[in-house]
Each structure stands twice: as structure tokens, then as C-alpha cells.
DNA sequence: TAAAAAATTTACAGCATTTTTACATTAAAT
DNA sequence: ATTTAATGTAAAAATGCTGTAAATTTTTTA
């Protein structure tokens, strides 16, 4: 596969050899990788890098991998794929029930990992307003979540990371009103709950780029006092 | 775990021993099982039983398991968990990319299978296509509490935060008479117990927006001396 | 390391919503 | 039928929320 999704992955793994393997293996497939070599650091990276998913080794030096999962799940639903040397069934069950989305036993092939990443991406994109290929279309606006491409009138539009992220959250919940709090938590993480200021700025930028008449938006609608929503 | 979800599963598997194993193993955990011993029959069962998910053996006598997946995916997004004796990586990738949600290599433990079923359930529960029953309809009036949208005659109506809140309280208690006190407490908080003035203003605004003949309301009815109620 | 891009901060104009105020209308009671 | 209490409507003033541009800092890229 030669898709270059430009997605962001946080890898939490203490073994440098496997980190190296993932860095090159996933890197050549267009992923942007951030690494952490212990659980503490991993939780922080997950918070600040806003990854599309997380690859987590259970055997970490400083804390139990299951606790890392629980900690992340306190504020986020980012897909987590677990890697582990332990093929013990109880470990698998524990990790999956703590909130992991998949579990691979070492040794594993890069091809299988990539296939399971694609499964995770399908899941996080699924929405009734999207066709089977995870492409959202409404009027002149088209968003391809898999390829990370945005079009208006068949013309590709470049978005910055935050702009794209905001749009993708709106697309994944097309039609629904999303509160300021929810959007801020999804995009800037749990610490920026009150900066609803940011939202206005990025919303304005998206309208400039995507709306025909930015002052009278067709797609990116304001619900004053509540939040925003994408009309479809 | 003691979840007894009463979910429906279709098992597509030719080996009677494994069917037996799944029937008892899953049966005791509260699942309702329907069985098919070949691909053709499996596709039909998937169509008529409307299962919550499908467990599929790849090594079927009549057709390739990957084609079964593709056939089902033409019309449905039901989670499919694949079982296979083949640990070959290419097979895994092929099945996952065809639309399978997970892949277990035989032999596998019942505990792991159950844990992966719980993961699949988390995914399909999280996506809104199933859990979307909060739509109130009465005549030309339609209120979607999940999306926070209001329609009259299929025409969307914009409501301000307080207008919407008032309407949603009425919708959640449709048919019941709600006292002034109760409504004021729900919407403005316990401190504004006596400003029944506000209610009249917002009730009037709602009627202007939602009733065909605001002076002779069909839905938003006054119970003089008591409060208001929404007819349905 | 310098240049470019992006994120954050700052500042201000404009808009929507809520609340206040004033007055008209309808329902209940003697 | 008349009076009184309760309800409905309209518009103004006050408040809080939103949109945009531009300057500054930070991060990324070449």
C-alpha cells in the first residue's frame, strides 16, 4: 500500500530495537512518529501530540501498561494498539478490558500491524453520513479522512494540523452540535477547557478556506452559547 | 465479567467441534447463537438474523472466507471476528482489509474471544447509528435531542439556548403538565422560582417559531394557573 | 542556522441573546 | 357583564458571546 496518510502515532516502548523497527517501518508508510520510552512520558506525549493512535508495549520499566491504558482512557478515546511479549490470555483480557482496541503478540509482522491500524482507522471514522470509504461529502465540500485531504469544488485545500483536526472532529459528528468544551478537549486536550477563544479563531480560518461566503456559512454553523456543528 | 448482553451472534464455521465449543462457551455468557456451516448459508443467516456480530471461520468448504466478508460488507457494517487456523500474515491482512474487525488464530481461548467481542461491542456502541432513538415527533414538529435540532415540516428551525432548553424539558415530559415552579427551576435554576414572567416570554417565542397558528397552539398548551404541557 | 509555517496572544468591532420594561389580551370568578 | 387575575406580545436596554485582523512567539522545515 502506498497511502501516505500523514497520521500521527505515539509509540510507547522501552526496547530501542523495536522502536527503531517501528520508526522506519511506519515512517516509510507516511506516519509521523513520536516516541516515549516509559509510561509516564507516554501519557504526556499522548496528551500533547494529539496522535491519531497509540502503539503501546505492555512491558514498561516504570509502570504497568494496563495502568497506562486506564490513565489515557480517563480523558480520551484514541485507539490504542497493544504490543506484548506475553501471550498469556489473562494479560490480553486485562489490556483489552482496560480499553485497548487490539493486542498483538511479539513477534509480529509489519504488514499485520499496518492492517490492524487500518482497522482502527475505519472504526474511528465510521459515521452514517460517510460512505464506505470514509469520505464525507456535502455540496461542494469533500473530506477524505483516510487520505487526510480536503476539497472544495474538486480543488484541494491545504489545512494546518489544528485546522484539519477541528474539521475532522466536526465531520465525524456531522449534523450534531458539539459543545465548546467537547471540541476543546478533543483538539487541545483536557487542560484547555476554557480557551473557547481558540475555537473562534480556527473556526474563522476554516470558513475562510472552505465556505463560499465566509460571513454566511453553509456548512460550519455556530450555535451561539453552545458550540458548533457541521451541516450536511 | 458478568455482562449478559443478550446479543445475537451468527457463527459461520464448518467444524462441528468448534461450533459446539462456541455454542456452549458463548451460550453460557448470555449470547443467542445462530449457526451456519458454510459460506452461502452464513451470508443468508447474517441477513435474516440481524446479528450484533458475526464470528467467521476462514476455512469454509464452499467458498473463500474473504469473499464472505466482502459479500456481507456490501450491505452491512456488522462487526466480523475471524477465526482461522492459518497464521500466515498475508491471510490476516487480506481478511482485515476485506472488512474484518479482528482476527484470531486457532487455537484460541474463550476468554480472549469474549474480550475481543467486548471490544467490538464498545466500538459499535460508541458509533451513533444504533443508539439514536431520542427523536420526538408529533405532527409537523420534530425534535432530535441528540443532534440538538428542531424541525417543523422538515424545515429546520433555529432556537436560542433558553428556547431549546425549555422545549427539551417539555419534550422529555411530553404529555405531562409541568408547573411554572418546575420549569423555572429546570431552566433558570432554583433562584428564579417566582419569575414566571420569563416563561411566558419564551413560551410565546417558541409558539411563534413552531406553531402554525401561534395564537391557537396545537402543541404548546397552557394550563392556566398551573403551567404548560406539550401535546403529542 | 535561517527561513517558513503554524500556533498563540492581543485588540477591537459586531452580533445574538437575555433581561427589563411597557402594554395588550385572554381566562376565571362573582 | 364586570372585575380581577393570569397570560401573551412587542420592543428597548443591557449583557455576554462571536468573528476577524494583525502582531508575537513557538515550532517545523530546508
Residue A130's pLDDT band, with cuts at 50, 70 and 90, is low
Whether residue A153 has pLDDT greater than 80: yes
Looking at residue A128, what is its pLDDT? 58
Measured CA to CA, the distance from residue B188 to residue B40 in angstroms comes to 60
Looking at residue A3, what is its pLDDT? 37
Whether residue B213 has pLDDT greater than 50: yes
Q: Which nucleotide is nearest to B195 (CA to C1')?
A: C19
Average of per-residue pLDDT across A132-151: 87
- In contact, A101 and B119? CB cutoff 8 Å: yes
Residue A14 has what DSSP assignment? S
Q: A89: which chain B residues are within 8 Å (Cβ-Cβ)?
A: 109, 111-112
Residues within a 7 A CB radius of strand C: A 158, 160-163, 188, 195, 197-198, 201, 224-225; B 158, 160-163, 188, 195, 197-198, 201, 215, 224-225
Could you read off the pLDDT of A21-76 as tens digits, one per residue? 999 999 888 888 999 999 999 998 888 888 889 999 999 999 999 999 999 998 88
Measured CA to CA, the distance from residue A159 to residue A214 in angstroms comes to 16
Q: Report chain D positions within 7 A of protein CB atoms.
A: 6-11, 17-22
DSSP-derived 3-state class of residue B16: helix
Residue A146: exposed, middle, or buried by beta-carbon count in 10 A (0-12, 13-18, 19+)?
middle
As given in the structure block, the three cell numbers for residue B155 are 424545515
Could you read off the pLDDT of B89-104 as tens digits, one per residue? 999 999 999 999 999 9
Looking at residue A74, what is its pLDDT? 86
Mean pLDDT value across chain B: 91
Judge whether residue B160 contacts strand D, using its CB and a 7 Å cut-off: no
Measured CA to CA, the distance from residue A175 to residue B135 in angstroms comes to 14
Whether residue A147 has pLDDT greater than 90: no
Whether residue A181 has pLDDT greater than 60: yes
Q: Out of B89, B149, B160, name the one closest to residue A109 (CB).
A: B89
Looking at residue A129, what is its pLDDT? 59
Residue A127's pLDDT band, with cuts at 50, 70 and 90, is low
Residue A232's pLDDT band, with cuts at 50, 70 and 90, is confident
Looking at residue A1, what is its pLDDT? 35
Compute the half-sphere exposure of residue B37: CA atoms within 13 Å on the CB side of its CA.
Answer: 7
Compute the half-sphere exposure of residue B65: CA atoms within 13 Å on the CB side of its CA.
Answer: 30
As given in the structure block, the three cell numbers for residue B172 are 422529555
Instruction: Using the Cα atoms of residue A210, residue A211, residue A215 and residue A220 in order, give the sign of their dihedral.
Output: negative
More confident residue, A155 or A130: A155
Whether residue B42 has pLDDT greater than 70: yes
More confident residue, A77 or A89: A89
Whether residue A5 has pLDDT greater than 90: no
Could you read off the pLDDT of A86-117 as tens digits, one per residue? 878 999 999 999 999 999 998 899 999 999 99
Whether residue B3 has pLDDT greater than 50: no
pTM for the whole thing? 0.84
Amino acid at each position: 500500500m502506498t497511502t501516505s496518510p500523514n497520521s500521527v502515532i505515539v509509540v510507547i516502548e522501552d526496547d530501542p530495537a523495536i522502536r527503531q523497527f517501528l520508526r522506519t517501518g511506519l515512517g516509510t508508510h507516511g506516519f509521523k512518529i513520536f516516541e516515549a520510552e516509559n509510561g509516564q512520558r507516554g501519557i504526556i506525549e499522548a496528551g500533547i501530540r494529539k496522535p491519531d493512535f497509540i502503539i503501546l508495549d505492555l512491558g514498561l520499566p516504570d509502570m504497568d501498561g494496563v495502568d497506562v491504558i486506564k490513565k489515557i482512557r480517563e480523558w480520551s478515546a484514541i485507539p490504542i494498539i497493544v504490543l506484548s511479549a506475553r501471550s498469556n490470555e489473562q494479560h490480553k483480557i486485562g489490556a483489552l478490558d482496560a480499553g485497548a482496541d487490539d493486542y498483538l503478540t511479539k513477534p509480529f509482522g509489519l504488514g499485520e500491524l499496518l492492517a490492524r491500524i487500518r482497522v482502527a482507522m475505519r472504526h474511528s471514522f465510521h459515521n452514517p453520513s460517510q460512505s464506505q470509504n470514509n469520505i464525507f461529502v456535502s455540496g461542494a465540500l469533500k473530506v477524505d479522512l483516510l487520505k487526510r485531504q480536503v476539497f472544495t469544488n474538486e480543488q484541494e485545500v491545504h489545512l494546518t494540523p489544528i485546522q484539519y483536526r477541528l474539521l475532522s472532529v466536526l465531520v465525524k459528528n456531522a449534523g450534531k452540535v458539539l459543545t465548546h468544551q467537547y471540541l476543546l478537549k478533543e483538539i487541545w486536550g483536557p487542560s484547555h477547557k476554557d480557551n473557547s477563544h481558540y475555537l473562534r479563531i480556527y473556526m474563522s480560518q476554516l470558513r475562510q478556506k472552505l465556505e463560499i461566503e465566509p460571513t454566511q456559512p453553509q456548512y460550519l454553523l455556530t450555535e451561539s452559547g453552545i458550540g458548533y456543528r457541521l451541516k450536511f
